[in-house]
Chain A
């Protein structure tokens, strides 16, 4: 937040970020968990921290919540500096993976807990608890104990308990991973509805890329304590800027290629003996030399083998998936020797068939060969 903006003017309060992270970093006994991170989370935004375990996403969440103290950097919530503020004064709502409902209290007492600590009057507490339980459709469960509820119901209670205090930010720590598949989808829809209706600034931590793609306004993809890329789900999926992001979010086909020439927009490269000219969306393109060429399966098109701009391959396996078939191709120029394509089920080919893979001129990306895997 630049300091020349005057404080507390109305239009300003609508524009400043709900959460601002300025160079916040964290190590645990010498091991870096989070490299310095800069991030602004807008008001009402649903931001997802996506990454594999150990990438630093949970560390960042715990830093925002105040359960961990940053080694360096500053953290602001609604322009208030909170780096040194203990969690109970941050006015943050959290839903944990296993909900952490207080087992010695019933549902209503659980939801009322955050109001009792704020010394809200009894009448108002009762009213707000009723409202919160109505929001998550659990009005009739006020007297139940947490252990008498199903996983989905427990999660709703946890959500009601976090929302009743009208938090400045809602933090979600892998809240769906303990639910079975069907319930998970239903809860995602319900949570997203409540979140956008209340205009709640939300930080969501997950390792599940499909959850991240379906729910987020923006996704921050993390690995090894760094934010690797931040953008809308479409930007992340369609324009991954690194090999890590391309393979972690969605399916990826990767080819070993040689970059011959690059201009501002175009790149000329060779995949095996096939010469291709592509225009890429990339911010940084590697220097000419050995590179990795990335393309989504749905962007690859099957053509006849022997076409000059097609990469030759052989069908190894065809997997019927109902509405489509997955063709697994043996391809000498592919990294790992395999490429996967999705074709209409009627166009599935038998194993052994020789084919060519044609790439679109826009869509693929070129990464340096030594770009990290993790």
Chain B
């Protein structure tokens, strides 16, 4: 069938609309990206000259470097703990029936409705009352609480979709419960576990509100370091840090994609 001029017009209108929406979604990042190369010390838009000096400044500013290391460490440890604990809870919720099941489910999901600052404040008061040091472990604990519901949900959904016949086939072939778990259940759940853990790591890496309550100068995360910086200075260094920030998250995603070959693992019939 031959296309009329109207068809072509509608075709192009559709494309333009889609592009516009995509641009709108990406707009904040694009503005920050351009601002980060601004030569001037004031955050003006559009920039009048171009420079890399804010990137240099970002790397030289010690709080950012330490904040990045803290954030990566906290995200890695927090996500690992949340993944192990969350998978365990998800397994129990999926496989067993018991009296307080809905209560357990409710408690596990509660961080979703409790604001992050409440969680931060609560742990701050608790640690002060118990005179615990404000160590990196306190920050990790806050992050684990915040990301746990997401890990539990993600692994639970994987378990719901898991074909129990695989485990039964393995059992019939002589595999005991631990052997089944290690050779069948875990390998087949790997995509769900990896995406759950990755999700947790990114949420933890982005977490700001609760962290603000429980960090100190030594344990501050990158978002907190950025916040502290912007309270004192108003130059484009923060834009440069933002770009680096996005790059780190993108690299995390790429690494997982490369090492776990997600699309291959995911292609399970």
Q: Which residues from chain A sit less than 8 Å from chain B, CB to CB?
A: 65-67, 86-94, 96, 98, 100-104, 113-114, 117-118, 146-147, 161-162, 165, 171
Closest-CB distance, A119 to chain B (whole angstroms): 10
Q: Is the CB of A88 within 8 A of B172?
A: yes
The complex places the Cα of A104 from the Cα of B166 at a distance, in Å, of 11
Question: Is B224's beta carbon under 8 Å from chain A?
Answer: no
Q: Knowing A103-B188, A104-B268, say if A165 contacts B173 (CB, 8 Å).
A: yes
Among B172, B176, B179, B269, point to the contact of A94 (Cβ < 8 A): B172
Q: Is the CB of B166 within 8 A of A102?
A: yes
Question: Is B174's beta carbon under 8 Å from chain A?
Answer: yes
Instruction: Write the chain B residue with the least CB distance to A94.
Output: B172
Q: Is the CB of B268 within 8 A of A88?
A: no
Closest-CB distance, A62 to chain B (whole angstroms): 9
Among A92, A96, A165, point to the contact of B165 (Cβ < 8 A): A96
The complex places the Cα of A171 from the Cα of B171 at a distance, in Å, of 14
Q: Among A89, A102, A161, A165, which residue has the most Cβ atoms of chain B within 10 A?
A: A102
A92 neighbours in B (Cβ, 8 Å): 172
B169 neighbours in A (Cβ, 8 Å): 94, 96, 100-102, 161
Q: Is the CB of B171 within 8 A of A88?
A: yes
What 4 A-B pairs are tightest by C-beta distance, nearest first? Answer: A114-B173, A100-B165, A117-B174, A87-B171
Q: Is the CB of B269 within 8 A of A103?
A: yes
The complex places the Cα of A82 from the Cα of B175 at a distance, in Å, of 17
Q: Knowing A96-B165, A98-B165, say if A103 contacts B268 (CB, 8 Å).
A: yes
Q: Is the CB of B179 within 8 A of A87?
A: no
Question: Is B109's beta carbon under 8 Å from chain A?
Answer: no
Question: Is B168's beta carbon under 8 Å from chain A?
Answer: yes
The complex places the Cα of A339 from the Cα of B267 at a distance, in Å, of 53
B171 neighbours in A (Cβ, 8 Å): 66-67, 86-88
Instruction: Write the chain A residue with the least CB distance to B170.
Output: A113
Closest-CB distance, B201 to chain A (whole angstroms): 24
Q: Among A66, A93, A113, A161, which residue has the most Cβ atoms of chain B within 10 A?
A: A113
Closest-CB distance, A164 to chain B (whole angstroms): 9
B166 neighbours in A (Cβ, 8 Å): 100, 102
Q: Is the CB of B172 within 8 A of A65?
A: yes
A113 neighbours in B (Cβ, 8 Å): 170, 173, 175, 183
Q: Is the CB of A100 within 8 A of B173?
A: no
The number of A-B residue pairs with CB atoms under 8 Å apart is 70
The complex places the Cα of A96 from the Cα of B166 at a distance, in Å, of 10
Q: Knowing A102-B166, A146-B269, say if A87 contacts B187 (CB, 8 Å).
A: no
The complex places the Cα of A67 from the Cα of B180 at a distance, in Å, of 14
Q: Among B168, B176, B179, B267, which residue has the most Cβ atoms of chain A within 10 A?
A: B168
Question: Is B84's beta carbon under 8 Å from chain A?
Answer: no
Among B168, B179, B268, point to the contact of A117 (Cβ < 8 A): B179
Within 8 A of A (CB), among B103-155: none
B187 neighbours in A (Cβ, 8 Å): 104
Question: Is B215's beta carbon under 8 Å from chain A?
Answer: no
Among B172, B183, B267, B269, point to the contact of A87 (Cβ < 8 A): B172
Question: Is B184's beta carbon under 8 Å from chain A?
Answer: yes
Instruction: Write the chain B residue with the least CB distance to A101.
Output: B169
Instruction: Write the chain A residue with the least CB distance to B163.
Output: A100
B173 neighbours in A (Cβ, 8 Å): 88, 113-114, 117, 161-162, 165
A165 neighbours in B (Cβ, 8 Å): 173-174
A86 neighbours in B (Cβ, 8 Å): 171, 176
A118 neighbours in B (Cβ, 8 Å): 174
The complex places the Cα of A225 from the Cα of B214 at a distance, in Å, of 61
- 0/1 per residue, B170-211, Cβ < 8 Å to A? 111111100110011001100000000000000000000000
28 A-B Cβ contacts within 8 A? A65-B172, A67-B168, A67-B171, A86-B176, A87-B172, A88-B172, A88-B174, A88-B176, A91-B174, A92-B172, A94-B168, A96-B165, A98-B163, A100-B165, A100-B166, A100-B169, A103-B269, A104-B187, A104-B268, A113-B183, A114-B174, A117-B173, A117-B179, A118-B174, A146-B269, A162-B173, A165-B173, A165-B174
